[in-house]
Structure 1
Amino acid sequence: MRDIGVPYSRLPLPTPGERDDPQAFLAWLGEAIPMVKYLGIREMRWEGEALVWELALSPSLNDKGTGFGGALAAQTTLLGWCWTTLWLRERSHARDVVVAEAGQRFLAPVTDDYRLTCAPERGQGQAALAERLASGGRGRIALTQQLWCGGTLCLEAHGDYAVLPAR
C-alpha cells in the first residue's frame, strides 16, 4: 500500500535516444499509480509517434453494460501523461508531468474491447516543448487521444500536459 504524500521512486532512465520497454514501463506504472492495475490495459506500444493502448472493456463497464464515461476520461488523461513522460524519458529528462487541461467528446457507446491512441495535436508541439526544456523552464504540449471500438471512433479527447521545471 502506498503512503499518501510520498512520491513513488522514478524508473531509471533508458539509454539516451532509446525508448522504454512499454511493458516494463506499464508494470512500473501499475505500482506507481495503483488504479492502473484495474484499467484493463492489455498492451502498450508505439505506432510511429502515437502511443497505443489495447484495453478490455469489462473493468470499465457502466450500469448500461457499455463503457463508463468517467473511467474512459481517466484513461485518456493517463495515456496523455504516459505519452509525455515517455517522450521526456527518451530524451533523458526526468521531469514531473501534470495535466493542465483536459476535455472529452463522447461520440458513440463503447460496446466491446477497445484501442486508445495518443499523439501530438500540432506539428510543432514536440519541437516547441524541446526548445522550452532546453532553456531550463517548464514546457507544455497539446495531445489528442482517440478511443476506437472496432472501426468506430467512440471518444475524442484533448489535453494539455505541463512539464514542470527540474527539481
Structure 2
Amino acid sequence: MDTPASSHPVITRLLTMPPVQAMQLRLAGFDADTLCLAAPLAANVNDKGCAFGGSLTSVMTLAAWALLSMRLEDAGHRADVYVQDSSVRYLAPLYGDLHARAWLEDGQTWNEVLDAFAAKGKSRARMEAEIRDPAGTLCCTFSGRFVALAPRD
C-alpha cells in the first residue's frame, strides 16, 4: 500500500523494527478511526499450518500501538506509547494471511485521549483489535490499555 499513511513516521519506525521485519508486516489501511496491518501466513505459520498465536497477538498489539501513536503525533504531540496490559481471545484457527484491524474502544473519544495528553503530558487509551479470516469469521480479539508519556529527554 502506497499512501500518505505508508510514509508516516510512526509506520516507518514500526516497519524498521527487526521482529516486525521478520513478520513481513505492512500497513493495509488507515483512516482517522481505524488502522489495519497485514502479514503473510508464510512468515507467521506454526507447526499446524495455521497462524502462530504469538504473531496474531503481535499484529493486533502493533496495530493498536500504531493507531494511538499516529493520532498523538498527528495532533502535534511527541509521545512514547507503551502497552500497559492486554487480553487476547483465540476463537478459531487462521489458515490465511493475517489482517488486524484496531480502533479506540467504545466509550472513549480521541478528543479525551488527546486533551489529557496535552494537559498532563500523559494519557491512557483502551484499544481494541481483531483478526478475521477471508470468510469473515472472527479468529481472535485483543483488548488492551496503553499509556502515552511525554518523552524523558
Q: TM-score category by the smaller chain? A: 0.7 to 0.9
Alignment equivalent of 1:71, drawn from 38, 55, 58? 55
Deviation, structure 1 residue 90: 0.8
- Asked if structure 2 preserves the Cα contact closer than 8 Å seen for 1:125 and 1:142, the reply is no
Deviation, structure 1 residue 111: 0.5
Confirm or deny that 1:97 pairs with 2:81: yes
Where structure 1 has 5 or more consecutive residues not aligned to the other structure, the ranges are 1-19
Structure showing the higher helix proportion among its residues = 2
Alignment equivalent of 2:132, drawn from 124, 148, 167? 148
Match of 1:134 in 2: 118
Letter in 2 for 1:43: L
Where structure 2 has 5 or more consecutive residues not aligned to the other structure, the ranges are none
Alignment equivalent of 2:29, drawn from 38, 42, 45? 45
Higher alpha-carbon Rg: 1
Alignment equivalent of 2:146, drawn from 161, 164, 167? 161
Letter in 2 for 1:143: M
Confirm or deny that 1:84 pairs with 2:44: no
Aligned residues: 147
Under a length normalisation based on structure 1, what TM-score does the superposition of the two structures give?
Answer: 0.80
Letter in 2 for 1:22: A
Confirm or deny that 1:117 pairs with 2:101: yes
Give the 3-state SS of the residue equivalent to 2:46 in structure 1.
coil
The 1:59/1:108 distance shift into structure 2, 3 A limit, reads: same
The 1:161/1:124 distance shift into structure 2, 3 A limit, reads: same
Structure 1 runs of 4+ with >3 Å offset: 25-28
Confirm or deny that 1:106 pairs with 2:80: no
